[in-house]
């Protein structure tokens, strides 16, 4: 079967750095996405990785290792507005997105 694993919840301090991990086992791989979802709102696109390595976009970076079936999202200089759920999704061999259950990130002052 296909499986995306993420921690259910993480807590971090304002101004700090946090790393949210995602491991996957899917039938085929055509890219990995990270989305942010604030409570009661729609998911919004953060990043896309299809090749191994680190993609940096401002305070957010995303890393992929295809051989290990592993990705992480790194958030720097955390702000209170970063409190949200972070969803990892993999595009499988049928080009459909398989979604993890999401990681709820709680930021404390």
Q: Which residues bind another protein (CB under 8 A)?
A: 4, 31, 33, 41-45, 48, 50, 87, 89, 91, 95-102
Q: Distance between CA 91 and CA 109 in Å, rounded?
A: 36
Nearer to another protein, 73 or 89 (CB): 89
Shortest spacing between CB 98 and another protein, in angstroms: 8
Shortest spacing between CB 14 and another protein, in angstroms: 27
Nearer to another protein, 53 or 109 (CB): 53
Q: Are the beta carbons of 34 and 75 closer than 8 angstroms?
A: no
Nearer to another protein, 11 or 44 (CB): 44
Q: Are the beta carbons of 14 and 78 closer than 8 angstroms?
A: yes
Nearer to another protein, 12 or 32 (CB): 32
Shortest spacing between CB 42 and another protein, in angstroms: 4
Q: Distance between CA 97 and CA 65 in Å, rounded?
A: 18
Separation of first and last alpha carbons in the chain: 40
Task: Give the tokens for residue 20.
Answer: 């949210």
Q: Distance between CA 54 and CA 74 in Å, rounded?
A: 10
Shortest spacing between CB 109 and another protein, in angstroms: 27
């Amino acid at each position: 079967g296909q499986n995306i694993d993420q921690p259910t919840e993480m807590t971090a301090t304002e101004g700090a750095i946090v790393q949210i991990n995602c491991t996957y086992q899917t039938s085929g791989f055509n890219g990995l996405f990270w989305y942010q979802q604030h409570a009661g709102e729609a998911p919004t696109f953060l990043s896309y990785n299809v090749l191994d390595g680190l993609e940096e976009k401002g305070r957010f970076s995303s890393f992929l290792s295809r051989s290990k079936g592993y990705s992480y999202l790194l958030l720097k200089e955390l702000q209170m507005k970063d409190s949200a759920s972070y969803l990892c999704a993999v595009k499988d061999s049928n080009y459909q997105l398989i979604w993890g259950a999401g990681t709820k990130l709680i930021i404390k002052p």
